[in-house]
């Protein structure tokens, strides 16, 4: 299941949620200000980020600047504790599934969250030329073949 970490005033968060809804891709929204972030979920985010804290934490955040924090000098446990106490330092939105993470809204990169079976079916079935793509037998055959391969 895809998790999207958001905040209410974030326009990119609204764009991401709208995109997932338009694509009919289920997700769980986690408002970083209305919940206490789970330690294991934060570890998962850190593990999946290519550039560690640079990917997920805003170095321009007031709390980071005012305290002269050097995030790379923190232990993982201290960093997680810091994020849990100061969720506003997180860049938003953060989308996570079982294999990947994406931070921010990027029109091209977000398409990686389209399920593999659907991407293959769309490539093989010309959805832009098919008025009935969602009910197309050929598309369903492609989807079933991909599902059988997995």
State the catalytic residue, choosing from 10, 13, 125, 142. Answer: 10
Kindly give the pairing relationship between strand 101-103 and strand 27-31: unpaired
Active site residue 10: yes
For helices 76-85 and 39-48, give the axis angle rounded to 10 degrees.
120
Task: List the catalytic residues.
Answer: 10
């Amino acid at each position: 299941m895809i998790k999207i970490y958001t905040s209410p005033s974030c326009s990119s968060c609204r764009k991401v949620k709208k995109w997932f809804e338009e694509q009919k891709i289920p997700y769980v929204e986690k408002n970083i200000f209305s919940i206490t972030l789970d330690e294991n979920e934060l570890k998962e985010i850190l593990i999946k980020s290519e550039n560690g804290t640079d990917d997920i934490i805003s170095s321009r955040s007031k709390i980071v600047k005012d305290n002269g924090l050097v995030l790379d000098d923190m232990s993982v446990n201290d960093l997680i504790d810091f994020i849990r106490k100061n969720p506003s330092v997180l860049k938003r939105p953060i989308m996570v599934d079982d294999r990947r993470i994406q931070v921010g809204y990027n029109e091209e990169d977000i398409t990686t969250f389209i399920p593999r079976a659907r991407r293959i079916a769309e490539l093989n079935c010309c959805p832009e030329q098919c008025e009935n793509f969602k009910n197309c037998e050929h598309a369903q055959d492609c989807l079933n073949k991909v599902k059988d391969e997995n």
